[in-house]
Chains A and B, each alone.
Chain A
Amino acid sequence: MATIDLTLKVWRQNGPRDKGRFETIAARGISTDMSFLEMLDVVNEQLTLDGREPIAFDHDCREGICGMCGAVINGRPHGPQRGTTLCQLHMRHFAHGDTLAIEPFRARAFKVIRDLVVDRSALDKVMVAGGFISANTGSAPEANGAPIAPATAELAMDAAACIGCGACVAACPNASAMLFVGAKVSHLGLLPQGRPEAARRVLAMVREADRQGFGNCTNVTECEVECPKEISIANIARMNREFLKAAIASGEK
């Protein structure tokens, strides 16, 4: 089993009002088979035994699907490997002697709670504004009643794969959430059952994203590069078309 030694420069911040600072922590004897979060576990065990504060970081499923984890590693959300969440990033992608700067996802809409933990509730608020199909339990028609071309279902699924981690926001110089919004607008809008409220949805979600302090999309496309689920920016284009159509042609305000 190969092991490496690393120098971590970790962002430490006690709360939203604390200024925050980098702290240098040595990580020694790290197995290259570990995930990034397992490496942080090992470091935290040692910090605890040494009487120091362990590094706070969000995580849960550790298989790349819950969207809870995420930090910026050497300037890149979720680290250097494409299409990979931080929990699925393994230490074999780093070399002995590397220095890693580890920071929280930074955006005006994401306040730091502690160290690498940020408040992403603004994304929930965008969903509450319109990220749903209004279908009360019990009112559904027979599932095979309306066939959906598999290519359409696949496109919807590509967009629905978003895990809501916020990496797109952290990657964007404008801290825009348009990849997140575009993915949800596309997922629901591509499906026939999502059409009736499509105009209302896109207007409400875009408006709420603005209100939450997310920036605008200026086609930098960093979001697509850093998205751990490789959500395409075609979804933003689709959202823009949907938005224009809704703003001009629909009766929705």
Chain B
Amino acid sequence: MSKLDAKIPGGPIESKWERHRFDLKLVNPANKRKFTVIVVGTGLAGGSAAASLAELGYNVKAFCFQDTPRRAHSIAAQGGINAAKNYQNDGDSVWRLFYDTVKGGDFRAREANVHRLAELSVNIIDQCVAAGVPFAREYGGLLANRSFGGAQVSRTFYARGQTGQQLLLGCYSAMCRQIGAGKIEMFPRREMLDLVVVDGKARGIVARHLITGEIERHTADAVVLCTGGYGNVFFLSTNAMGCNVTAAWRCYKRGAYFANPCFTQIHPTCIPVHGTYQSKLTLMSESLRNDGRVWVPKNPGDKRRPGEIPESERDYYLERRYPSFGNLVPRDVASRAAKAVCDEGRGVGDTGLAVYLDFADAIARDGRGTIERKYGNLFAMYEKITDEDPYGQPMRIFPAVHYAMGGLWVDYNLMSTIDGLFVLGEANFSDHGANRLGASALMQGLADGYFVIPYTIGGYLAGTSLAPVSAEEAAFTDAAREVSERTQRLLSIQGKRTVGDFHRELGAILWDYCGMSRNNEGLARAKEMIRALRGEYWQNVRVPGRGDDFNQSLERAGRVADFLEFAELLVADALARQESCGGHFNEGYQTAEHEALRDDEHFCHVAAWQYGGEDNEPERHIEPLTFEHVHLTQRSYK
């Protein structure tokens, strides 16, 4: 085990980023066009990075597995984006956003990164408005805000329930402009299947053309990975079907450390599971908790319809347990509370695995029209899926896997442990600690892409000597050959079970033993079960079709194969972290009131895992975390 150096600049926290920007070497404008940067993924992080780097003059090659860069899963973010504008004059500031984020993350994030994020938040809103993002406005024409979980100020900017879509279209249109200008070469329907490292530096990728099946080799001077989170390892999650860990996992196997994989966020307000055929779970934006009240019957087994249960027999358990934050407690707290009432037999609906989110009071107070304007599209989506009218009866909700706080380890420059490999957005681990606050993912993706990478990649390129690289070098041909062999191996098994069948079983193992609450015995068992399932996968999976062709089964088979490896690391990380914090709740470590109990003496650090080879255990390294500005305390939302 070694200690990692995050390269955090010195000086007071308020001026670290400004000083660092001055200290970073610059690439002069004429030289920028001599460098090529690969950006993998075109969500908020990748889209903003690709456009911003191209505007600076770099040659950008951008890759996505979808048919166009406009479809990355950032598009599905509903509720909003935080920024410390303090337009509401309600006491917000860069410092408060910084404080809330560190505390919300249960003291497992890096202070310097989070402060930078809070500083940049205000620039993001300016940039998005300039790009044409139609944020909600007040009658006077100024920008509107709403509040979100984990905060007592209104700092969330939104575009109806489609904030992610509008922000992504902003990035996408900026990319379009650079594609037209010839500065971005766009490679849609490509899946990155390996990272190529030459002389210790990331110099390119191997990608599969998803229409022709051709294995392509692409060279560059740096690689920027913006490939999102790994929530789909749980099979059912709020992620899009294509979200996967493959690109990050291949980088891990090439030497990038993977940090805090056990920090997964279970979002409290999703539409409950209703059948085994179900392919995904749908989120109902956290913003609904502004106006919706969460409750269950006071008595276990009360099967009356919600309208028949009188006020006196309802338990508004979040308001009862957390009077100061009420329904707006952070996500991890709200999710565990929902699980607790369901475990007591007080869950509602056919499965008993749901709680009510009730808008009756809000509709009575503000009128149906107001609620419709704020949440109309969410209510419509709920009705489509459940065939129930949420204006007339409460929604039923239950927690679901939503976001990965863990990801590839990066230093302050967002560079991984491989020189020249940068990791942005959800794919890195950096800013949210053990729990992400609502409306902060969009903020982080855009901060990384618009305002961090344009500076730090320049510092790297200007300060590094890079020999010319060719796609014919051994490192490229070897990586391409390995990718082809793996594809052929998957196709040749011709077993008896489908890829989806394995994926579903893997997800059930993780949800049962490494979901909202975990214990040592279950984790140890899960590890064995995952190994056995992986063994069976490579003996008994059935992948139809060919490799040199459009083959969606094959795409999925590769992703699930990586999930089967990654899941074991996730469980190992959970087992190694003998404390509870944020989204990681080990039943052995809780307060008398069943809140997460951290062990700051032994675990106030980032865990970063190094691949040890095919038959060896990975090695756990740590990056110690120090809290000089936000003092380590037991989080309280009471």
A23 on the B face (CB < 8 A): no
**Can you show 24 pairs from A to B with CB atoms below 8 A apart?**
A34-B278, A35-B279, A37-B279, A49-B498, A51-B544, A54-B552, A63-B283, A63-B381, A64-B381, A66-B73, A66-B240, A119-B67, A128-B176, A128-B179, A131-B173, A132-B174, A137-B51, A137-B127, A137-B451, A147-B142, A150-B141, A153-B135, A160-B159, A188-B132
A121 on the B face (CB < 8 A): yes
Contact among A45, A64, A129 for B180, CB-based, below 8 A: A129
Residue of A nearest to B70 (CB): A164
B474 — which chain A residues lie within 8 A by C-beta? none
A132 — which chain B residues lie within 8 A by C-beta? 131-132, 173-174, 176-177
Known: A62-B241, A127-B172; 18 extra A-B contacts, CB below 8 A, are: A15-B550, A38-B279, A48-B498, A48-B544, A60-B71, A60-B242, A61-B76, A66-B240, A124-B188, A132-B177, A137-B51, A140-B127, A142-B126, A153-B136, A153-B141, A160-B159, A160-B166, A193-B130
Residue of B nearest to A124 (CB): B68
CB–CB B138/A135 < 8 A = no
Provide the bound-state CA to CA distance between A59 and B71, in Å.
10
CB–CB A147/B75 < 8 A = no
Q: Kindly identify, within residues 548 to 604 of chain B, every residue whose CB is under 8 Å from any CB belonging to chain A.
A: 550, 552-553
Q: Kindly identify, within residues 534 to 555 of chain B, every residue whose CB is under 8 Å from any CB belonging to chain A.
A: 542, 544-545, 550, 552-553
B186 — which chain A residues lie within 8 A by C-beta? 124
Contact among A58, A129, A147 for B67, CB-based, below 8 A: A58
Contact with B along A22-38 (1 / 0, CB 8 A): 00000000010111011
A234 on the B face (CB < 8 A): no
Contact among B132, B451, B501, B545 for A194, CB-based, below 8 A: B132
B364 on the A face (CB < 8 A): no
B360 on the A face (CB < 8 A): no
Q: Kindly identify, within residues 123 to 141 of chain B, every residue whose CB is under 8 Å from any CB belonging to chain A.
A: 123, 125-132, 134-141
CB–CB B241/A60 < 8 A = yes
CB–CB A1/B134 < 8 A = no
B636 smallest CB distance to A (angstroms): 34
B399 smallest CB distance to A (angstroms): 17
Contact with B along A126-152 (1 / 0, CB 8 A): 011101111111111111100111100
B398 on the A face (CB < 8 A): no
Pick out which of these stretches binds chain B: A84-92, A216-224, A237-245.
A84-92
A223 smallest CB distance to B (angstroms): 19
A48 — which chain B residues lie within 8 A by C-beta? 498, 542, 544, 553
CB–CB B176/A127 < 8 A = yes
Residue of A nearest to B282 (CB): A63
CB–CB B545/A144 < 8 A = no
CB–CB A67/B125 < 8 A = no
CB–CB B177/A62 < 8 A = no
Contact with B along A66-106 (1 / 0, CB 8 A): 11100000000000000110001010100000000000000
A33 — which chain B residues lie within 8 A by C-beta? 274-275, 387
Provide the bound-state CA to CA distance between A116 and B96, in Å.
50
B503 smallest CB distance to A (angstroms): 11
Residue of A nearest to B165 (CB): A65
Provide the bound-state CA to CA distance between A239 and B127, in Å.
26
Contact among A31, A35, A120, A153 for B68, CB-based, below 8 A: A120
Residue of B nearest to A34 (CB): B277
B179 — which chain A residues lie within 8 A by C-beta? 128
CB–CB A60/B176 < 8 A = no
B122 smallest CB distance to A (angstroms): 8
Number of A interface residues in the complex (CB < 8 A): 76
Provide the bound-state CA to CA distance between A88 and B385, in Å.
7
CB–CB B68/A143 < 8 A = no
B160 on the A face (CB < 8 A): yes
B373 smallest CB distance to A (angstroms): 9
CB–CB A42/B277 < 8 A = yes
Residue of B nearest to A42 (CB): B277
B66 on the A face (CB < 8 A): yes
CB–CB B550/A149 < 8 A = no
* A144 and B87 contact, Cβ closer than 8 Å, known pairs A64-B381, A88-B385: yes
A225 on the B face (CB < 8 A): no
CB–CB B381/A88 < 8 A = yes
Residue of B nearest to A55 (CB): B552
CB–CB A45/B126 < 8 A = no
Q: Kindly identify, within residues 148 to 179 of chain B, every residue whose CB is under 8 Å from any CB belonging to chain A.
A: 159-160, 162, 164-166, 169, 172-174, 176-177, 179
B278 — which chain A residues lie within 8 A by C-beta? 34, 38
A62 — which chain B residues lie within 8 A by C-beta? 240-241, 279-280, 282
Q: Kindly identify, within residues 278 to 298 of chain B, every residue whose CB is under 8 Å from any CB belonging to chain A.
A: 278-280, 282-283
Q: Kindly identify, within residues 5 to 52 of chain A, every residue whose CB is under 8 Å from any CB belonging to chain B.
A: 15, 31, 33-35, 37-38, 41-42, 45, 48-49, 51-52
Contact with A along B54-98 (1 / 0, CB 8 A): 010000000000111111010110000000010100000000000
Residue of B nearest to A126 (CB): B176
A65 — which chain B residues lie within 8 A by C-beta? 75-76, 162, 164-165
Contact among A1, A92, A141 for B387, CB-based, below 8 A: A92
B569 smallest CB distance to A (angstroms): 26
A4 smallest CB distance to B (angstroms): 13
A24 smallest CB distance to B (angstroms): 19
CB–CB A66/B126 < 8 A = no
A66 — which chain B residues lie within 8 A by C-beta? 66, 71, 73, 75-76, 240
Provide the bound-state CA to CA distance between A58 and B189, in Å.
11
A161 on the B face (CB < 8 A): yes
CB–CB B501/A187 < 8 A = no
A210 on the B face (CB < 8 A): no
A53 on the B face (CB < 8 A): yes
Interface hub of B55, B279, B380, B545 (most chain A Cβ within 10 A): B279
A35 — which chain B residues lie within 8 A by C-beta? 279, 385
A156 on the B face (CB < 8 A): yes
A49 — which chain B residues lie within 8 A by C-beta? 496, 498, 542
Provide the bound-state CA to CA distance between A88 and B271, in Å.
13
A246 on the B face (CB < 8 A): no
B416 — which chain A residues lie within 8 A by C-beta? none
B346 smallest CB distance to A (angstroms): 24
Contact among B130, B139, B142, B180 for A128, CB-based, below 8 A: B180
CB–CB A143/B73 < 8 A = no
A84 — which chain B residues lie within 8 A by C-beta? 384
4 shortest interchain CB distances as A-B pairs: A147-B141, A140-B130, A132-B173, A140-B126
CB–CB A121/B137 < 8 A = no
B242 — which chain A residues lie within 8 A by C-beta? 60
Provide the bound-state CA to CA distance between A157 and B380, in Å.
17
B130 — which chain A residues lie within 8 A by C-beta? 133, 135, 139-141, 193
A177 on the B face (CB < 8 A): no
Contact among A45, A52, A60 for B66, CB-based, below 8 A: A60
Provide the bound-state CA to CA distance between A33 and B275, in Å.
8
B578 smallest CB distance to A (angstroms): 37
B309 — which chain A residues lie within 8 A by C-beta? none
Provide the bound-state CA to CA distance between A133 and B143, in Å.
19
Provide the bound-state CA to CA distance between A18 and B545, in Å.
17
Residue of A nearest to B49 (CB): A137
B444 on the A face (CB < 8 A): no
Interface hub of B67, B135, B139 (most chain A Cβ within 10 A): B67
CB–CB B553/A54 < 8 A = yes
Q: Kindly identify, within residues 378 to 425 of chain B, every residue whose CB is under 8 Å from any CB belonging to chain A.
A: 380-381, 384-385, 387
A146 smallest CB distance to B (angstroms): 8
Residue of B nearest to A52 (CB): B544
* A148 and B137 contact, Cβ closer than 8 Å, known pairs A135-B131, A140-B126, A160-B166: yes
Contact among A67, A129, A161 for B71, CB-based, below 8 A: A67
A198 smallest CB distance to B (angstroms): 11
Interface hub of A53, A132, A154 (most chain B Cβ within 10 A): A132
